[in-house]
Structure 1
């Protein structure tokens, strides 16, 4: 069984003025970006079976808006560790995915999401990964063994 990893950077968030970065909401443009990302997934029949999402408010909002375009809302695992994760920590979370999950959506933050995608594109440097950026990584291994070199990434947006 081929595994498909969909990587999504959260949509555009309000700038941090006061309070916590963790609680920044999406802007109006960010809400539209998230809906467009969901529509893009739906148009390509890229339906996640499960989601790993940072606990930041902007990522939670992004997932909710993306799910509006999907025929079924997949179960979401909110992972506080994804909020400040580096690529190895993100890969550790991904490796814990149940074997029966065929398509996993990970919603997080830059620079980690860009670096994660870039690690699966060694021959094509990733110059940027914008807000609501989407990439698909087709893996040749089970989640437990997922690592750079075990699949190939392509940018969707």
Structure 2
């Protein structure tokens, strides 16, 4: 694949988690989270983007979100469970994405707020239609995702280089 072809990144916040008396990293999804994860998976599949790679936090709620969402995909991307996504800042997430091999065209990152929302804000130098307005209005609730595009190598991904193509959040 050429670095001149647009690359896409889906930034996907885990679905609604439950609050049992466990360590934060081990919190599972709530019932609503399980439904919203599947709905988000359907919406991501509806984009028609063939994701080559999914980078997923090792936290229980992100792994459960991904397990439910990917069932809606026509083809399962390679999945890497990455500890560095948990509690990562936007800058740390960019550094992680910069490590992506250039033969990967489309990446799905499943993580947590405030990092995911911050990353969407930082990367999007422009937006299509009302995507930014909808994202700003809704914030980044559980199971929301932002879809961005940029041209260049993964090493060239930096603040402001991407276009926010779409934003979706479950209805509350």
With the shorter chain as reference, the TM-score category is over 0.9
Question: What secondary structure, in the 3-state scheme, does the structure 2 residue paired with 1:11 have?
Answer: coil
* Aligned residue among 7, 13, 16 for 1:9: 13
Aligned to 2:100: 97
Question: What secondary structure, in the 3-state scheme, does the structure 1 residue paired with 2:67 have?
Answer: helix
Question: Is residue 54–residue 109 contact of structure 2 (8 Å, CA) maintained in 1?
Answer: yes
Matched length: 156
TM-score (norm 2): 0.85
d(CA) in 2 for partners of 1:108, 1:38:
14
* 1:70 matches 2:110: no
d(CA) in 1 for partners of 2:106, 2:44:
12
Question: Is residue 141–residue 150 contact of structure 1 (8 Å, CA) maintained in 2?
Answer: no
d(CA) in 1 for partners of 2:44, 2:36:
12
CA RMSD of superposed structures (Å): 1.5
TM-score (norm 1): 0.93
Q: Which runs of 4+ in 1 moved over 3 A?
A: 121-125
Gaps of 5+ in 2: 127-131
Aligned to 2:140: 129
Q: CA deviation at 1:122?
A: 5.2
* Aligned residue among 156, 159, 165 for 1:145: 156
Q: Deviations over 1:40-79 (max 9, x none)?
A: 0111212311011110000001111111011121111111
d(CA) in 2 for partners of 1:111, 1:30:
18
Question: What secondary structure, in the 3-state scheme, does the structure 1 residue paired with 2:152 have?
Answer: coil
